[in-house]
Amino acid sequence: MFYGIDLSSRLMLGTAQYPSPEILKQAIAASGAEVITVSLRREGAEGVAFREILGACGCRILPNTAGCNSAREAVTTAQMARELFGTNWIKLEVIGHADTLQPDPFALVEAAQILCSEGFEVFPYTTEDLIVGEKLIEAGCGALMPWGAPIGSAQGLRNPDALRSMRAHFPDIPLVVDAGIGAPSQAAQAMEMGFDAVLLNTAVAKALDPVGMARAFGLAVEAGFSGHRSGLMHKRDMAVASTPVFGMAELA
Catalytic residues: 91
Bridge partners (DSSP) listed for residue 95: 103
Q: Residue 129 in 3-state DSSP?
A: coil
> How far apart, in Å, do the first and last CA atoms of the chain sit?
63
Angle at 202 between CA 197 and CA 100, to 5 degrees: 90
In angstroms, the CA 207 to CA 83 distance is 33
HSE (side-chain half, CA atoms, 13 Å) at 182: 11
Q: Residue 12 in 3-state DSSP?
A: strand
In angstroms, the CA 176 to CA 238 distance is 34
